[in-house]
């Protein structure tokens, strides 16, 4: 009679770790009480830009107050490097030293990564033309724009663009053009929201000026 192998005895999946697993592993395996951008860059392997974008966007998805500018600036720099064709992320030593407290970030990050893991079940290679090198540079340009939006002090302006960056990044990593499309849609929504905020701001200023003069 042929031997039967239960699912528990089946060999583990031999593919690369999921993005959620890789980010969490960097936090858990880095010694000390803080994780720096240098730790992230060194622990990324050959999926550097994509995983960095996910890591830098997640604090805005949760969100963690006051962190949007802190992560938005390096996100814009990394996206600019990808846009001009660099293969590996680079930051000046001063920015590489920027660090995050494990005690402050890890609890919320664990929640966000749990949500990310649920999304990862549905990601697969498809519409590969949207993840080719030229398309990746266009995606990088969109992420530069979104990163600058994240740096703006606009209430409620972080969640949608941050999710868009995560979608773009997962699309790049897993060669999933559907995720790229979702990221593009969220970028358009971000622009519409930004225009609405600017319009309301101008209207408020005009009203105050009319009231005074």
Residue 41, domain member (yes or no): yes
Residue 129, domain member (yes or no): yes
**Mean pLDDT of the region 6-11:** 43
Percentage of the chain beyond pLDDT 70 is 87
* Packed helices 19-29 and 102-120: angle between N→C axes, nearest 10 degrees: 160
- Model confidence at 144: pLDDT above 50: yes
Question: In 10 A of CB 160, how many CB atoms?
Answer: 19
**Mean pLDDT of the region 120-138:** 89
Contact 148, 72 (CB under 8 A): yes
Confidence of residue 3 (pLDDT cuts 50, 70, 90): very low
pTM (predicted TM-score): 0.77
Q: Which helix (H) or strand (E) holds 200?
A: helix 177-212
Straight-line distance from the first to the last Cα atom of the chain, in angstroms, rounded to the nearest whole number: 95
Q: What is the DSSP string of 121-190?
A: TT---B-GGGGSHHHHHHHHHHHHHHHHHHTS--TT-SHHHHHHHHHHHHHHHHTBHHHHHHHHHHHHHH
Residue 155, domain member (yes or no): yes
Residue 11, domain member (yes or no): no
Q: Give the separation between CA 181 and CA 123, rounded to whole angstroms.
A: 13
Q: Which residues make Cβ contacts (< 8 Å) with residue 6, sequence separation at least 6? A: none
Average pLDDT, the chain: 80
Q: How many residues does this entry show for the chain?
A: 213
What pLDDT does 9 receive? 46
Residue 104, domain member (yes or no): yes
Q: In 3D, which of 97, 110, 94 has the Cα closest to residue 36?
A: 97
Per-residue pLDDT reduced to its tens digit, 54-111:
888 877 777 666 677 778 888 898 899 989 888 777 777 887 787 877 887 777 777 8
Residue 101, domain member (yes or no): yes
**Mean pLDDT of the region 162-180:** 91
Contact 40, 26 (CB under 8 A): yes
What pLDDT does 185 receive? 96
Question: In 10 A of CB 139, how many CB atoms?
Answer: 28
What pLDDT does 44 receive? 66
Contact 150, 158 (CB under 8 A): yes
- Model confidence at 1: pLDDT above 50: no
Per-residue pLDDT reduced to its tens digit, 191-200:
998 888 888 8
Residue 4, domain member (yes or no): no
Confidence of residue 47 (pLDDT cuts 50, 70, 90): low
Number of domains in the chain: 1
Residue 6, domain member (yes or no): no
- Model confidence at 184: pLDDT above 90: yes
Q: Give the separation between CA 100 and CA 91, rounded to whole angstroms.
A: 16
Q: Give the separation between CA 57 and CA 116, rounded to whole angstroms.
A: 12
Q: Give the separation between CA 118 and CA 115, rounded to whole angstroms.
A: 5
Structural domain harbouring 53? 16-212
- Model confidence at 8: pLDDT above 50: no
| 3 state DSSP class of 174 | helix
What pLDDT does 12 receive? 45
3 state SS for 68-87: HHHHHHHHHHHHHHHHCCCC
């Amino acid at each position: 009679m042929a031997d039967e192998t239960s699912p528990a005895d089946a060999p583990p999946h031999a593919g690369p770790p999921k993005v959620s697993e890789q980010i969490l592993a960097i936090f858990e395996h880095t010694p000390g009480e803080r994780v720096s951008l240098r730790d992230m860059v060194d622990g990324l392997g050959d999926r550097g830009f994509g995983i960095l974008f996910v890591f830098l966007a997640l604090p805005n998805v949760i969100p963690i107050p006051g962190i949007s500018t802190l992560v938005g600036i390096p996100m814009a720099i990394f996206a600019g490097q990808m846009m001009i064709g660099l293969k590996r992320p680079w930051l000046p030593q001063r920015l590489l030293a920027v660090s995050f407290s494990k005690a402050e970030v890890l609890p919320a990050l664990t929640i966000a990564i749990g949500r990310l893991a649920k999304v990862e079940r549905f990601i697969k290679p498809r519409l590969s033309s949207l993840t080719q090198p030229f398309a990746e540079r266009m995606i990088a340009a969109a992420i530069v724009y979104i990163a600058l939006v994240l740096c703006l002090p606009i209430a409620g302006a972080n969640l949608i663009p941050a999710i868009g960056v995560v979608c773009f990044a997962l699309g790049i990593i897993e060669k999933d053009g559907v995720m790229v499309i979702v990221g593009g849609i969220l970028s358009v929504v971000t622009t519409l929201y930004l225009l609405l905020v600017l319009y309301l701001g101008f209207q408020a200023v005009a009203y105050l000026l009319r009231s005074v003069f």
